Amino acid sequence: MSFGVDNSSLIWAGLLALLPLIRSPFQNVAYPWNALLPQDRLSVWLGRSVRCAGMIAILALVFGIAGLHMKETSVERIGKGARIVLLLDRSRSMDDSFAGRTPSGAEAAKSAVAERVLSDFIAERKHDLFGVAAFSTSPLFVLPLTENREAVLAAVRASKQPGLAQTNVSKGLAMALSYFGADGRELSGANIITLVSDGAAVVDPQTEAYLRRWFKQHRIHLYWIFLRTAGSPGLFETPQNPDDDNAEARPERYLHMFFNGLGVPYQAYEAESPDAVTRAMAEIDRVENQTLRYFERMPRKDMQSPCYALATLALGFLFFAKWMEVRTCSNV
């Protein structure tokens, strides 16, 4: 814990706190011989208390005017959980249902299903740090890693808004990877990217090399919740026609193969219904629960109000003591 002031030049005014030691605020009474007075310890302590109250009042006012505050700092936290970046597909196809058509009746859009299941997942993971990123034609930075549940839920709810364009998953993955190790600090615990998408695209060789290096460097666990539309090719099916077995014709299958070759923990889930999405997230919740060590940034805290409150109490004591003072006639 460290303190600072906005105007350090005013600190010299704190020397005024020595004034109560030099002069008493009470009336001086002359006696012919002090030895005639009985020993009164209560009066001695009251006199000292008044002087201390005067010093406190002056110092509190000086520090309040100077802008005393607690500086911003980082506090180490240790708990059970993980750092989880939710990477959400915002392409137009996410606005369709699992049947591949505009939602109607009991059907729900894939984006709405993902929002509901992810919200439940976030609410159950009490000690995780969550970040949110999205992608369509370009990546979208939504929310950095934080323990603020309300902010994370709001970011996930925004994923239900109408989709933007196409699916450029490689740029989205690069954005999600940038959430880890951005400050150069060694990360402990589980670092997870959860990709929620209903499609994929071809990853160019240069981007592949970048993704391999970052996944290994930060030991990131990757989960892919593939929201499979009815009738579309799956991740695990080998095409019967060899001519169709290429990245252009089956981008999802080849992205899955690329993920398998990253050399990091990876699991793909094909979800063809809302219940399948729920089961996939429940499995991730069961597996990923390690010791997490992180630093929470504590913002600056102004201390001017406590200073003024302390000065008010001290001045109130001084006024009361002065009001209770017994005055004597000077001509006696």
* Residue 274 shares a structural domain with residue 141: yes
Predicted confidence (pLDDT) at residue 184 exceeds the cutoff of 50: no
Q: Domain count of the chain?
A: 2
Q: What is the pLDDT of residues 35-60, one digit of tens each?
A: 666 776 777 787 788 889 889 999 99
37 part of a folded domain: yes
**Radius of gyration of the chain measured on its C-alpha atoms:** 34
pTM more than 0.85: no
Q: What mean pLDDT comes out for the span 223-252?
A: 81
Higher pLDDT, 5 or 31: 5
**Domain extent for 132:** 74-296
Higher pLDDT, 205 or 61: 61
Most confident of 65-79, 83-97, 242-256: 83-97
128 part of a folded domain: yes
Which pLDDT belongs to residue 291? 60
**What is the four-CA torsion angle of 19, 21, 27, 29, rounded to 10 degrees?**
-140
Q: What mean pLDDT comes out for the span 121-140?
A: 86
* Residue 189 shares a structural domain with residue 312: no
172 part of a folded domain: yes
330 part of a folded domain: no
291 part of a folded domain: yes
328 part of a folded domain: no
67 part of a folded domain: yes
* Residue 115 shares a structural domain with residue 11: no
* Residue 257 shares a structural domain with residue 292: yes
Most confident of 27-36, 78-87, 159-168, 299-308: 299-308
266 part of a folded domain: yes
Which pLDDT belongs to residue 332? 42
Average the pLDDT over each of 29-33, 40-44, 140-144, 248-252 and give the range with the smallest value.
Answer: 29-33
* Residue 185 shares a structural domain with residue 286: yes
* Residue 37 shares a structural domain with residue 102: no
* Residue 66 shares a structural domain with residue 88: no
Q: What mean pLDDT comes out for the span 208-232?
A: 86
* Residue 161 shares a structural domain with residue 265: yes
- 87 falls in which pLDDT band (50, 70, 90)? very high
Higher pLDDT, 65 or 79: 65
Instruction: Evaluate whether 82 touches 289 at the Cβ level (below 8 Å).
Output: yes
For a pLDDT cut of 90, what percent of the chain falls above it? 14
Average the pLDDT over each of 47-51, 135-139, 290-294 and give the range with the smallest value.
Answer: 290-294
* Residue 80 shares a structural domain with residue 184: yes
Residue 189 to residue 51: CA distance in whole angstroms: 55
* Residue 30 shares a structural domain with residue 151: no
Which pLDDT belongs to residue 290? 62
* Residue 154 shares a structural domain with residue 259: yes
Average pLDDT, the chain: 81
**What is the four-CA torsion angle of 277, 280, 281, 285, rounded to 10 degrees?**
170
Which pLDDT belongs to residue 222? 92
Higher pLDDT, 330 or 211: 211
* Residue 122 shares a structural domain with residue 193: yes
Which CATH number is 123's domain given? 3.40.50.410
Which pLDDT belongs to residue 86? 93
Which pLDDT belongs to residue 37? 66
Which pLDDT belongs to residue 39? 72
Higher pLDDT, 75 or 84: 84
